[in-house]
Amino acid sequence: MYDLIIIGGGPAGYNAAERAAHGGLKTLLIEKKALGGVCLNEGCIPTKTLLYSAKIYDYAKHGEEYGVKFTGAEINHPFVIERKDKVVKTLVSGVAAKLKKAGVEVINGTAVVQNKAANGFNVIVGDDGNRPAGTTGGLPSAPAQNIYSSKYLLICSGSEAAIPPIPGLKEGLADNFCLTNREILDLKEIPKNLAVIGGGVIGLEMASYFNSIGVKVTVIEMLDKIGGPIDGEIADILYKNYAKKGIDFKLGAKVMAFGKNSVEFELNGEKIALNADKVLVSIGRKASSQNLGLENINVLTERGAIVTDDSGRTSVANVYAAGDVNGKSMLAHTAYREGEVCVNNILGKKDRINYNSIPAVIYTNPEVAAVGETTESVKQKCLKASVHSFTLKYSGRYVAENENGDGIVKIIVDENTRNIIGLHMIGSYASEIIYGAAMMIDTKMRVDDVRKIVFPHPTVGEVIREGCFMI
């Protein structure tokens, strides 16, 4: 009998398991593939490994702009993939070691919630035989149809790539012409032409990498802007940067079908067939809540996502959910915090997550980072707020490091309280700066409060303080 069973070993699950064990809970973590989930194995970490190699290659190609000339720089894509695998293996092993040290019991298998028991819940765990070879990360496999019981359940089963019912897509995935985020990260050969379906985070980051290494990239996006929910002005700057680099954007386009080596889409009433060597399908992700037995204990879901409150509670007492499976904010750092909130409440410490202060990043070059309200959301919600945009050229470091840079920071201020309620950046180090803005929003800092903070100089981040003096 356990105090807590966690289903899913991604960021929400493994972090929550460690916190629970440190809190004195006898914890069992069940993972059907590999520790680290999508983020560590098929998403955040492998993607950033590729993008860093591309960034170094970009520096080499454009070094003359900074007085440094490189001769014969080239990208070794197979080596990049090999290094990516090494990084993933190192980090997966690190997660396993931390869980072992914390005293978490971890097993590899497929979990199904069987029923409610007198003192908790019963979960059947077995090996479904569908795990790819070498993905257990050294975890012990569960005995077939073994039953485990616990007082609390935490569902952290994550998400999977959304696959729309477009004609030819199923066949394209089967013959490896169409790829999801999983397959493209293992692509050994560089395609000459890559079509990317979807101009969101995954699509843009992969478009960025392949564009940098010399691939002809076309991004087909249904909306009239890229970047999904990011601020419109930021999206426009990113669009112009990548259009200059040679990415061909087809905005307002609807994919109609996939052929043998082509994508058919409709744009401005015209049907167009685009030839491509490979196609990345990145139109979003959906919660993985199927085949978990949630219906056996009547856990409420909406469109496949488990319904939770801001404390992680589901519709069933003592059952919590965290991470992508709740469909709220499909980001690894959100999952970390959600898992912690769930564990804290299980331990009797009241806790909740503030979704208004969660930062988001697109790791393109230049980077995009954002937190809080956008120009568009302010209008939609009829908020009394002012929007202020400042060039990053107010930063000496930015000017020194970015020839012809066009980065900006946007600060959104509540006109009644003078609180900062949104901040958006495009430019170098944005991913490392945005946490400060998240703290400002979470702690309800006013413009005057930020003016009193001493920022290091010269940094890009000090533009935020400089901007506050101009508001």
- d(C-alpha 47, C-alpha 365), whole Å: 13
- d(C-alpha 339, C-alpha 346), whole Å: 11
Q: CA dist 120 to 31, 277, 309, 319, 386, Å?
A: 20, 52, 21, 10, 51
Return the number of other C-beta atoms located less than 10 Å from residue 120's C-beta. Answer: 18
Choosing from 62, 77, 424, 457, which is the catalytic residue? 457
- Give the residue among 391, 396, 374, 392 at the shortest CA–CA distance from 383: 374
| Strand duo 110-117 + 120-126: pairing | antiparallel
Q: CA dist 192 to 187, 189, 218, Å?
A: 13, 9, 11
Q: Which amino acid is at 280?
A: L
Q: What is the dihedral of CA 415, 418, 424, 425, to 10 degrees?
A: 120
User: Which two structure tokens, joined as six digits, stand for 467?
Assistant: 């901007």
User: What 3-state class would DSSP assign to 147?
Assistant: strand
Q: CA dist 462 to 239, 392, 398, 425, 433, Å?
A: 25, 9, 10, 12, 10
User: Which two structure tokens, joined as six digits, stand for 25?
Assistant: 């809970």
457 is catalytic: yes
Buried/exposed 173-197: b ≥16 CB within 10 Å, e otherwise: beeebbbbbebbbebeebbebbbbb
What is the set of active-site residues?
A: 457
